Structure 1
């Protein structure tokens, strides 16, 4: 029993010192966006159209980065933290940070894809 408590105390202590900061949560969300925003290889037309598509993606990523910087926050639980993303005015938990790592839930992929498309439409239209 004592050994179990000692092991749990050590794990909790390690968790406190390796709890990722807000910047690491934001970076994890940005990486998720960058992974989803690769340029389609099948762009038809000449090089000017391809260049326009590339610029549209870059503008969309910069806008998405600003959105994430302003709408991602964490809830610090001391031994771990929750990644929260502002969705339709409310913050929703989209991931967990612990031991220096960020684990994003699968449903964040759908939201990020929708938001990326929405921002691309605004910048292209």
Structure 2
């Protein structure tokens, strides 16, 4: 029993010191978008910048960086943190950060795919 409590206390302490900052959460979302660039094969050139610019345009901003700065926040739970993304005016939890890593949920992929589909319609329409 005593060993279990000690191990949990050490894990919690490590969690506190390795809780990722906001910038790491933003970078994880940006990388997720970069990994999903195949969702629109018609985009040529620098895919990430174009998708970022189009996503920004779709929500009234100019760049992906501005989008991330204005629409991503974290809820710090001390031993871990929640990645929250502003979607349709409300913040929705799309990932969790713990022990220096960020894990994004499938909701993030769905959001990016929906935005890409809207952008396809905009550019084709």
Partner of 2:51: 60
Deviations 1:22-73, CA, capped at 9 Å, x for gaps? 0000111011111111362xx6xxxxxxxxx425843332354132231010
Mapped contact 1:18–1:98 kept (Cα < 8 A): yes
Relative to the length of structure 2, the TM-score reads 0.78
Q: In 2, are the aligned partners of 1:32 and 1:109 still within 8 Å (CA)?
A: yes
CA RMSD in angstroms, aligned pairs only: 2.3
Taking CA–CA contacts closer than 8 Å with sequence separation of 6 or more, which of the two structures ends up with the larger relative contact order?
A: 1
Separation in structure 2 between the aligned mates of residue 2 and residue 55 of structure 1, nearest angstrom: 59
**Which residue of 1 is the match for residue 75 of structure 2?**
75
Alignment map for 1:27-38 (pairs within 5 Å): 27-38=27-38
The number of residue pairs the alignment matches comes to: 114
CA distance in 1, matches of 2:71, 2:86: 5
Gaps of 5+ in 2: 56-63
Distance 2:32 2:115 in 1: 12
Alignment partners' CA distance in 1, 2:17 and 2:121: 42
Q: Which has the larger radius of gyration?
A: 1
* CA distance, structure 2, for counterparts of residue 115 and residue 3 of structure 1: 49
Where does structure 1 differ by over 6 angstroms across 4 or more consecutive aligned residues?
none
Find the aligned partners of 1:107 and 1:87 in 2 and give their Cα distance: 11
